[in-house]
Amino acid sequence: MWEIGPILRALMRNKVGAVLIAIQMAVTMCIIVNAVHIIVERKALMARESGIDEANSFYITSTGFAPDFNEQVTVQEDLDMLRRLPGVVSAIQINAIPISGGGWSQGLQTEPGAEHDGAYTAVYMVDEQGLKALDVELIAGENFSPTDVRWRERSQSDWPDQTIITKAMAENLFPDLPYQEVVGKTVYINDIEPIIIKGIIDKLQAPWIGWDILENSMLSPEKTLFSSSRYLIRTEPGRMNELMPQVEEMLAESNKGRIIRDPTSMPDTRERSYRSHGAMIKMLTVVMVVLTLVTALGIVGLASFSVNRRRKQIGTRRALGASQGAILRYFMVENFLISSVGVLLGAALTVGLNIYLVQAFSLARIEWYYLPLGMAILWMVGQLAVLGPAKRAADIAPATATRTV
């Protein structure tokens, strides 16, 4: 009833077109499945939460230039003003912005001495309002008190004796301990400087989105005197856009001895940081759509050619008793067989390309279910593409069998 044997034998005698379509399907499947895999990976990266209240946070830079510019006083006055501003939940001076691409990192180790290995971490210098401004949750230990916070000069290389670290960093440093027990432990920075872990926060990503240890972050209780300050401002929900120009103007007006610049929202920062990922996703999506279309058109072309070439044969089949459904089925089965060769070859190519990508670009391995999914989609594309020509074939009149032309 399905005529699989005769169809296969007929295909074997006219293989060129079918083989070309099968190869096209194989290449399409290989590229589509790997592209989907890359897209899913990239989307997963883009979906990672930084840990801060991105939707309602922005930052702005203040750079002093006047000879009498007093940064310590300015920072204190700025923070007082910002924290009093209606709509602001909290504001801090901070040395780096999560997922922004630029920041500080340091190594922490559990034993003193250069001979011991450490774990790298991003460093955020914040005051006692750091947790509130960053919207991170203290899950063990204590927050910094105002007296813990010190001023740091540009040339200063030593560190405060307390820190708050992320849970991921705690587990990195002390893999055998529950994170709660890490509170109070001493770790060493610059090989030998002891720091006591005062608290653990749930999550705070580093500035570098491509970092393998993106979740390793530490808070250092410091405010900086680097002549240029960055303020991170967290607003009440929905008020960020309204407050950004207001803050910019207020800070600019309050002190003429400095420049206020680059007010940037966290959503913009995320967009900029992940722009290449977004572009890659768009490009791969376009490639997938175009390839699928080209393949589908190739199938339509081959099937249409095949129908036109076999008009008399189809008429004869109809005369011999084939119903329209039988003719439709013939072409659908024929396409299914060609597609089957294509997708099986495609599965092998997909795995091969993935192995290469894993080795060359450290991509993750494709999940097993991508293959049957890709095969099913390509089969479906094939069946949909052949449907039109197959319907035209089914419409060929049985009387075509007796026509001489």
Partner 1 sequence: MLTMNNITKVFRTDLVQTYALREFNLNVGEGEFVAVTGPSGSGKTTFLNIAGLLETFDGGSYSLDGEDVSHLNDKARSRFRNEKIGFIFQSFNLIPDLNLFDNVDVPLRYRGFNSSERKRRIEQSLEMVGLANRMKHLPSQLSGGQQQRVAIARALAGEPRFLLADEPTGNLDTKMAHSVMDLLKDINEKGTTIVMVTHDPSLAKQAKRNIYVRDGRVSELHEVAAFAEEESQTTAKASNG
Q: Which residues bind partner 1 (CB under 8 A)?
A: 1, 3, 5-6, 9-10, 13-14, 312-313, 316-326, 397-399, 401-402, 404
Alpha-carbon distance 271 to 278, whole Å? 8
Q: Whose Cβ is closer to partner 1: residue 8's or residue 20's? A: 8
Q: Which residues, in sequence order, are CB contacts of 378 under 8 Å at separation 6+?
A: 25, 28, 29, 32, 295, 339, 342, 343, 346
Q: Whose Cβ is closer to partner 1: residue 111's or residue 395's? A: 395
Alpha-carbon distance 404 to 56, whole Å? 78
Minimum distance, C-beta of residue 330 to partner 1, in the bound complex (Å):
10
Minimum distance, C-beta of residue 398 to partner 1, in the bound complex (Å):
4
Which among 133, 316, 318 has a CA at the least distance from the CA of 233? 133
Minimum distance, C-beta of residue 332 to partner 1, in the bound complex (Å):
16
- Angle at alpha carbon of residue 30, lines to 27 and 36, rounded to 5°: 135
In sequence order, the β-bridge partners of residue 222 are 150
Minimum distance, C-beta of residue 31 to partner 1, in the bound complex (Å):
32
Phi, psi of 340 (to 5 degrees): -60, -45
Tell me the C-alpha to C-alpha distance, in Å, between residue 288 and each of 43, 273, 338, 341: 16, 24, 21, 20
Q: Which two tokens stand for residue 169?
A: 């960093």
Minimum distance, C-beta of residue 14 to partner 1, in the bound complex (Å):
6
DSSP state of 365: P
Minimum distance, C-beta of residue 302 to partner 1, in the bound complex (Å):
15
DSSP secondary structure letters along 247-293: HHHHHHHH-TTEEEEEEEEHHHHHHHHTHHHHHHHHHHHHHHHHHHH
Minimum distance, C-beta of residue 13 to partner 1, in the bound complex (Å):
5
Q: Whose Cβ is closer to partner 1: residue 15's or residue 261's? A: 15
